[in-house]
Structure 1
């Protein structure tokens, strides 16, 4: 379970908070989509979830462990894909995955069992022994996803994971996320692709200017607006950019 309670984060004195009094609770086994315009506070929230940033106020807990006071414990249960994955470019894909396995203390037997199916699923086996510097953006994105999954984390955190993926790889990632949650794990991902969020998410949160505007299911948002057949895209724009429908 992910619990974000009364979290506020400000980057500079006398500026508006990047995230303001944020409250979100995501049960195990759910896919949560975090939606918002550029600069809304999504990436700041994700950086606090993974421990890069600390909240100024409030607490974040992952499976009852505090991300600040129990930092190593929470990091051990996370798989993370940033919006722009960075690598040691002179490493091969295989060496990078071995490096991640070393960090998370994945045994030799476990890495043999996990690496081949993941690499085959995302069709990266032919490039696995090539330097990452030769990879396309989409290949790097696939490698980042495999690295996030290889230690079997309880919580998967993805920042715009579909960017750079071709339609087949996007489909495979969505199927992987569904399978992952069926095992009782939790997915937290940000996206600008409303169709993906509407199709995939058990719960969504819509944030704008640091404040949470909505938390719940797409159906609950449709019911609240009194327009049950409206697309998530239209409802999102109505909440975050009222100028569009003037």
Structure 2
């Protein structure tokens, strides 16, 4: 579970990039975070993951305060950033073992998870190659495997489908649903409204640092116009962004 209470973040002391937001992402659900570029999505994710400290408010991950107990809180989640261009000089297997070492995953368990996930994403044959030789989609896959290697209960994904081929995209969406159905939490940002419409149990729409809506898609459609597409509703709510 992720609990965000009265959270505010300002970069210049004048304009709030995130303005007193409140969100609760429950166990057992896939939660979509929608908004235009600059709306506050990435700032929110950076605060949830402890990359940035919030100016006000609290963020709890499975009841653990990310600001007060950062190391303990960070063990609760796996974070896929919007760019997979990292540790490029490492081989794929070196990167995965590095991630497993950080989270103290025992050798037998990591071996099984690496084998299972790399086969599922059809990247097993490339683990001996350096990440800098990978395509964008392959880099995305290796990062996803790396953050899942300690089997975190909370998944935080920033535009996770970007660059993935259709098969890998389908597999990741399937895994997200499996993870949520097992009673875990999936929080992801996306610009692909069709994905949010088909995949999410609930969504939040953020504009200029404020939450415009939080709830199910049915609730959103009933609030605006019945039978409208999510895309049309989203554009109407965020006009003049």
Query: Structure 1 length as normaliser, TM-score?
Result: 0.96
RMSD between superposed Cα atoms in Å:
1.0
3-12 or 228-237: bigger deviation: 228-237
Unaligned runs of 5+ in 1: none
Aligned residue number for residue 195 of structure 1: 194
Q: Corresponding residue for 1:236? A: 234
- How far apart are residue 148 of structure 1 and its match? 1.4
Secondary structure of the equivalent of 1:18?
A: strand
Deviation at 1:126, TM superposition (A): 1.1
Q: Which position in structure 1 is the counterpart of 2:167?
A: 168
- Which structure 2 residues correspond to residues 77-92 of structure 1 after superposition, within 5 A? 77-92=76-91
Q: How many residues of Structure 1 are paired with residues of Structure 2 in the alignment?
A: 241
What residue is the counterpart of 2:106 in the other structure? 107
Deviation at 1:26, TM superposition (A): 1.1
Show the 5 A alignment for 1:62-73.
Answer: 62-73=61-72
SS, match of residue 115 in structure 1: helix
**1:3 alignment partner, SS class:** strand
Residue 23 (structure 1) aligns with: 22
Please name the residue that 2:145 is paired with: 146
**Post-superposition CA distance 1:66-114 (Å, at most 9, x none):** 0100100110111000001232212110110000000000001111221
Q: Is the 8 A contact 2:76 2:153 kept in 1?
A: yes
Distance in 2 of aligned mates of 1:70 and 1:238 = 40
Distance (Å, rounded) in 2 between the aligned partners of 1:179 and 1:228:
30
Equivalent-residue separation in structure 1 for 2:119 and 2:155 (angstroms): 20
Q: Does 1:181 align with 2:180?
A: yes
Q: Deviations over 1:101-147 (max 9, x none)?
A: 00000001111221111000101011110011100000000111111
> 2:92 matched to which residue of 1?
93
Match of 1:10 in 2: 10
- For the 8 Å contact 2:84–2:136, the answer to whether it is kept is no
Deviations 1:188-211 (A, max 9, x none): 100000000000001100000000
Deviations 1:166-187 (A, max 9, x none): 1111111100100111111101
Q: Cα distance, 1:242 vs. partner?
A: 5.6
Secondary structure at 1:181 match in 2 = helix
